[in-house]
Structure 1
Amino acid sequence: MTYQTKSEIRIVNGETFIISDSVGNIYQKDTGNLGFFFRDTRFLSELILKINDLDLSILSAKEVNYFWSTHYATLPFESIFEAHPITIIRKRAVGNGAREEIIIHNYKTEPVDLTLSIQLDADFVDIIELKRAQSPEGKPVIEINSEKNQHIFVYQVNGICRKTVIQCEPGAEIENKKISFKINIPAKGVWRTCLTIRPVWEDKVKEPEYLCEDLDKNEPIIHKPLQEWANQVPRLTGHCSILSKTYERSLMDLAALRFYLDPENKPVIAAGMPWYMALFGRDSLITSYQCCFIAPDIAFTTLRNLARLQGKGYNDFRDEEPGKILHELRFGEKTLLGEKPYSPYFGAADSCQLFLILLHEAFRWTGNKELVNEFKEPALKALNWIDNYGDMDGDGYIEYQRRSKEGLDNHCWKDSSTSMIFSNARLAEPPIATVEFQGYVYDAKLRLAELAEEVWDDPALAEKLRNDVKKLKRRFNKDFWIEDRGGYFALGLDKNKEKIDSMTSNMGHLLWSGIVDDDKAEIIVKQLMSSHLYSGWGIRTLSIQDRGYNPIEYHNGTVWPHDNSLIAEGLIRYGYRDEANRIIVNLLEASKYFDNRFPEVFAGYQRSEVDFPVSYPTSSLPQAWAAGSSILFLRLILGLEPDRKKENIRINSHLPAAIEDICVENIRLFDKNFSVFVGKGRSEVRLSD
């Protein structure tokens, strides 16, 4: 499916994506993010189609699928009453490379002579540098192979070789940064041509999934990975339109973000487009958790790739320690030259906990002891990191402080430089122990204790872990609690162990983890659902009562769907199902204004003050854990839980008023295929053929 923000059209397929304007052109503009990208590198920075040296006028650009866009244009109108008789259609598909079919219709009653030109350029900029408006070190040279109708950009710097090969059909005139065609189209006639764009990575030509010669077969585009995904995931029907449209869109977003790092060619989920089309520890783990009941295979593939890249030593430049799970893996020029630390980078102090949480969650939904045994060693290494590296000063809490001069200031999910602030907007100084880290440790150790007991036959480890969390819960509920403002949990502890007293959504994650004492849960729920944290569309990241609040600052007042999805599960854990449903329904209502999609983040303005939820200017679309939120919402509404012993599914539904009934088919678990129906006063689980 295509992704349009303002005048942008975005199509993506794994590591390959194109961002263009609505006409289909790529050019340099203020935002600087247009281009044809592969593996963290922009392989085309300009692709501008003109007719008779005239810019095209857009008619419409519609989504066909996430990897395929179609653009309808014409030449400038002479007046509002006289449309131009020439129509230009551009059909574009991506996957490893790209194919663009160009079709021109002449609706005149006489032939026309036209000149079609395509202006080209490539800068091979590292996407990390593009985000920071930096330029690449070198300049590409141009090669023209007239015999093969190829225009080639070649980039070689410090041993790195990249090429972009644009393959034309016969009849093209190929010049410096330009391809042109002299065209004669008969009356009421049609002219066609096709371009193929191939990235070359270290002298290896990537063969596009869609080629111009395939057009001669006159067959519709069939994307096998999409077919396989559609056959794998559950189908949603029933009187639940408020959920079903967002659910379907989320499935497509997740399909679009799949890419392949595993030697067995199994997909993992990239964090988001355009800036985060890479493996991210935290994002990939949380997304896999949200989607575990519909796609547990992705959870195991995520775990496998993260375990393969687990920290081995102590590296300041990469913020690496033994056993640590990565934050981010990149392949751009600056990373390969060693100027950036993303090979991988380990600046996340919660990825080890989330690794253990996902491992247990995947076991819950599959009962696969063999796969859990595969991850015993990485799991114990992650546990060792938690106890011996994550706790930097031995106080029993996980904290962080960056060591890399190129690294992130903050190693939590709110990783922007201004997110760790006191209520008076003063920045907290590291080392910082954020509140949710401790909840994640509590949950991870309880889950690991179950694996130690049931799978690894290690009751001593299970007992130790359970004793650890009892002590942690008792200390935590005292050390992080603030009595002011009606009571709440601090955002964290700073270097002096002072409580960072801003009121944030982070404390909602504590309900998800289960670390909150029962007598504090009701207080936290009231705070989260109060008008100073609840916008009417969802829970804000920061209370409006805090001086640092800004409804359009990345982590200090916005609404994040994934944040709310974890909080909603926490609310249900503590028995607050009506409150959870309110979050779910309000976010689904918001998704209507984003083409039935959850963006990464949107503004935190109060619902009573705005006519619709306001976009965040640089929000990723599609974005993985935002898309995963609707999958988790479906499970929460249905109250689905696995029963490993009986190899069945339990239902404890609580439908919101906006949903009359839900039927979910094709839930594949325990080597079985389940269908679930939930309606008012009735629920049923059936085995399917």
Structure 2
Amino acid sequence: MNNRQPFLHDLNVLLAAPMQVWSGHDGQLRRSGGVQGIYCADTRVIDEAVLTVNGQEPEPVGSSQVQGSVVSFQALVRTLGSENPDPLVSLTRRRRALTDRVSEVIILRSDLSKDVTALIQMDLGSDFSPLESVKAGGRAHPVRPVVRGAVWQAAEEGVTSLVSAPGALVEQDDSRLRLRWEVVIPARGTARVGWEVQAEDSLAPFIAGARAARAPFRVRADDRRLTALAERALGDLEGLRMSAVGSPQDVFLAAGAPWFFTLFGRDSLIAARMLLPVDPSLAAGTLRTLAARQGTKSYPATAEQPGKILHEVRRGELRMPSDASNGELRLPPVYYGTVDATLLWISLLHDAWKWGMPKEEVKDLMPNLEEALVWLRDWADPDGDGFLEYIDETGYGLANQGWKDSADSIRWNDGSLATGPIALAEVQGYAYQAAINAADLLEAFGRNGAEEWRTYAADLAGKFRTAFWCRDDLGAYPAIALDVDKRAVDGVASNMGHLLGTGILNEEESELVARRIMHPTLFSGYGVRTLDTGNGGYWPLRYHSGSVWAHDTALTLEGLTKAGYAEEAALLAAGLTDAAEIFDYRLPELFSGHSSAQGGPQPYPASCRPQAWAAASAIPVMLATLGLTPQGPGQLPDVTATVPVPFGACTFEGLQAGGRSFTVDVDRHGAATVTPA
């Protein structure tokens, strides 16, 4: 084991949760390729699939991926025929991922004038490595399957796989299976063979989620990149849809492939909120899935507390090398180590209600809302200073429990690390917004406590104003956090952007934050850096201290619009679109903080592809500056009469609100109109 996380940026990926396939762009799956392989949930069932024709690998010439679950790899075969210097035999390797299997069809096409015989060989391997072992740079012991004819069976700890290859001769060597087909390619004709692997994890907590039952979201724009961005994002999101075993009707989005291919409270909630105008059913499914696992007791080993919404769910305990002082991260299968998911759950329930979630469905979740408020009142502020804070009590859990959850993410301006307990700036904004949202829900559904939570929010805003503000040569700004001594940690970071639109800032403070966000020390031209370039810990490829995260910028541009800075929001939207074009219209989870003068953004090589809140960020990129405001069941949303037009004239079809479909048209002068579908 080399303890180095494999890079992903130059690999091809297919998704159909819970199945995923990672390969080179030549279509080959190689044992030496790090993460390459076919996975069922968190287990790699195939770690090698290398194709040869007459003993040599085909020479790749390209690939085409029409959707997130189908890809074709094209190659040439120059070991067949010699009558012409032109390459007259081509090979297509068409791969498809379904929710319970991965299949391949191999097609040889010839323009030779005579029949030729070809020996097609596929070398398959299986290691049944758990994903955390792959992520840590290691691999488990190879598995020796059982061969019965042209069927190869393997099983280990609840995971089963079944390989079939019609017409193939089968040879076995330790953990490898060799499939051989001898075919005749007719003159100017074709020959084809195929194989597939079916897989199941009987112990996995989640299964494939139903496909979206909605009118398709479509985009027409002067800037044709928007259409490509929307199509790629929606295709990627389809592959991340999951449901809990026993609740197939409640669909949520897995956080991301390959590392976080499961339920994450924060990630799934944020992605669902971004997608409310496109697929409101995701919000309802996410809310119910998390409510069913809401904390009921205080248990430090899992960070569970009464009313708390969880951080993540996995098949078993997660053990990973860590940059924390203890050197190892150990998370239980159900882990609650997050300071913000409960707040985000409250606000998503409110927003889903406003966007038209049926009243009875919202009413059914009101007891969970009240339990979440118990957590906010009784557990989120353990020292009683009025701020939400966290610290890992176990020594092997997450050292940081906001969205920047790496151990080195909370930094002073000189680059040194802050000491916890930590009270994050954006979490106080989330808490303010959650309290106001909860008050509205309590009042609307005839429950007690609305005024208590409005008073809580007002008190929190006052305390935040006193404790969190710092000043440097560019002026005043909110600190990233308070540390153990209640000092304002003066690192200039993207966290402040999440405060916009929550209500915790007044107009003057919102203007200060908007100006700082758009300053070139934070705004790279492609997105908002997680840490400004003047910080002693800044590095453009540091995970949470200099890189750009797509969702971070998307949330900030939403907040800018709500705070009245639509033109600035449009600049961020244009920057993310420029980045998306560089990355083949798949917005990465994160990318480097380089500006155009520095050569533009580089991939973060281990970044999830796709990632739920990154793909979902395409929706606020396109819609946030419209100022869409839901009006409740049966009603179409309001839209700002005149909006910025960074993409020229646009039409957005298949939007959803209040149980109705609608279209938004924006002309080249920025005049926006909403019409029913």
Q: Tell me, what secondary structure is at the counterpart of 1:264?
A: strand
Cα distance in structure 2, aligned partners of 1:124 and 1:143: 14
Cα distance in structure 2, aligned partners of 1:201 and 1:527: 48
Greater mean alpha carbon deviation, residues 260-269 or residues 598-607: 260-269
Sort the Cα spacing of 1:242 and 1:54 in 2 relative to 1 into closer, same or farther, 3 A: closer
Residue in structure 1 matching 2:296, options 309, 312, 316: 312
Cα distance in structure 2, aligned partners of 1:88 and 1:681: 49
User: What corresponds to 1:677 in structure 2?
Assistant: 665
User: What corresponds to 1:489 in structure 2?
Assistant: 478
Greater mean alpha carbon deviation, residues 104-113 or residues 349-358: 104-113
Residue in structure 2 matching 1:557, options 530, 534, 546: 546
User: What corresponds to 1:275 in structure 2?
Assistant: 259
Matched, 1:154 2:137: no
Cα distance in structure 1, aligned partners of 2:55 and 2:336: 50
User: What corresponds to 2:309 in structure 1?
Assistant: 325
Q: CA deviation at 1:40?
A: 0.9
Q: CA deviation at 1:117?
A: 1.7
User: What corresponds to 2:392 in structure 1?
Assistant: 402
**TM-score, normalised relative to structure 2:** 0.91
User: What corresponds to 1:53 in structure 2?
Assistant: 55
User: What corresponds to 2:229 in structure 1?
Assistant: 246
Sort the Cα spacing of 1:648 and 1:187 in 2 relative to 1 into closer, same or farther, 3 A: closer
User: What corresponds to 2:381 in structure 1?
Assistant: 391
In structure 1, what residue type is equivalent to 2:234? L
Residue in structure 1 matching 2:171, options 163, 170, 174: 174
Q: Deviations over 1:190-212 (max 9, x none)?
A: 222121211143499x99x9xxx
User: What corresponds to 1:216 in structure 2?
Assistant: none
8 A contact 2:9–2:604 mirrored in 1 = no
Q: Deviations over 1:240-283 (max 9, x none)?
A: 43433322322222222112226133421111112111111101
Matched, 1:618 2:606: yes
Sort the Cα spacing of 1:491 and 1:334 in 2 relative to 1 into closer, same or farther, 3 A: closer
Q: CA deviation at 1:289?
A: 0.8
Q: CA deviation at 1:681?
A: 5.8
Q: Tell me, what secondary structure is at the counterpart of 1:293?
A: coil
In structure 1, what residue type is equivalent to 2:190? V
User: What corresponds to 2:562 in structure 1?
Assistant: 573
Cα distance in structure 1, aligned partners of 2:217 and 2:71: 26
Matched, 1:448 2:457: no
Matched, 1:125 2:114: no
Q: Deviations over 1:583-632 (max 9, x none)?
A: 1112212211111231111111122222x322222222111111111212
8 A contact 1:421–1:428 mirrored in 2 = yes
Sort the Cα spacing of 1:272 and 1:435 in 2 relative to 1 into closer, same or farther, 3 A: same
8 A contact 1:234–1:666 mirrored in 2 = yes
Residue in structure 1 matching 2:640, options 632, 640, 652: 652
Q: CA deviation at 1:61?
A: 1.2
User: What corresponds to 2:29 in structure 1?
Assistant: 26
Alpha-carbon RMSD = 2.5
Q: Tell me, what secondary structure is at the counterpart of 2:528?
A: coil
In structure 2, what residue type is equivalent to 1:269? L
Q: Tell me, what secondary structure is at the counterpart of 2:145?
A: strand
Sort the Cα spacing of 1:580 and 1:56 in 2 relative to 1 into closer, same or farther, 3 A: same
User: What corresponds to 2:468 in structure 1?
Assistant: 480
Residue in structure 1 matching 2:270, options 286, 292, 300: 286
8 A contact 1:512–1:566 mirrored in 2 = no
In structure 1, what residue type is equivalent to 2:59? S
Cα distance in structure 1, aligned partners of 2:147 and 2:415: 57
Any stretches of 5+ residues in structure 1 without a counterpart? 210-223
Sort the Cα spacing of 1:187 and 1:548 in 2 relative to 1 into closer, same or farther, 3 A: same
Cα distance in structure 2, aligned partners of 1:312 and 1:325: 10
User: What corresponds to 2:40 in structure 1?
Assistant: 38
User: What corresponds to 1:187 in structure 2?
Assistant: 187
Q: Tell me, what secondary structure is at the counterpart of 2:129?
A: coil
Q: CA deviation at 1:494?
A: 1.2
Q: Deviations over 1:425-472 (max 9, x none)?
A: 1111111111111110000000000000012x12x4000000111111
Q: Tell me, what secondary structure is at the counterpart of 1:651?
A: coil
Sort the Cα spacing of 1:6 and 1:84 in 2 relative to 1 into closer, same or farther, 3 A: farther
Q: Tell me, what secondary structure is at the counterpart of 2:159?
A: strand
8 A contact 1:273–1:623 mirrored in 2 = yes
Q: Tell me, what secondary structure is at the counterpart of 2:355?
A: helix
User: What corresponds to 1:218 in structure 2?
Assistant: none
Cα distance in structure 2, aligned partners of 1:49 and 1:242: 35
8 A contact 2:316–2:333 mirrored in 1 = no
> Identity rate of aligned residues, in percent?
30
Greater mean alpha carbon deviation, residues 551-560 or residues 252-261: 252-261
Number of residue pairs the alignment of both structures matches: 652
Q: Deviations over 1:73-95 (max 9, x none)?
A: 2235899x934443222111111
Sort the Cα spacing of 1:180 and 1:342 in 2 relative to 1 into closer, same or farther, 3 A: farther
Q: Deviations over 1:207-259 (max 9, x none)?
A: 9x9xxxxxxxxxxxxxx966x55x43432224343433322322222222112
Residue in structure 2 matching 1:63, options 29, 49, 65: 65
Map 1:90-239 to 2 at 5 A. Answer: 90-95=93-98, 96-136=100-140, 139-146=142-149, 149-155=150-156, 160-176=157-173, 177=176, 178-202=178-202, 228=212, 231-239=214-222
**TM-score, normalised relative to structure 1:** 0.90
Map 1:377-388 to 2 at 5 A. Answer: 377-388=367-378
- In terms of fraction of residues, the more helix-rich structure is 1
Cα distance in structure 1, aligned partners of 2:658 and 2:76: 55
8 A contact 1:151–1:174 mirrored in 2 = no
User: What corresponds to 1:220 in structure 2?
Assistant: none
Sort the Cα spacing of 1:244 and 1:192 in 2 relative to 1 into closer, same or farther, 3 A: closer
8 A contact 1:316–1:403 mirrored in 2 = yes
In structure 2, what residue type is equivalent to 1:151? W
Cα distance in structure 2, aligned partners of 1:150 and 1:264: 31
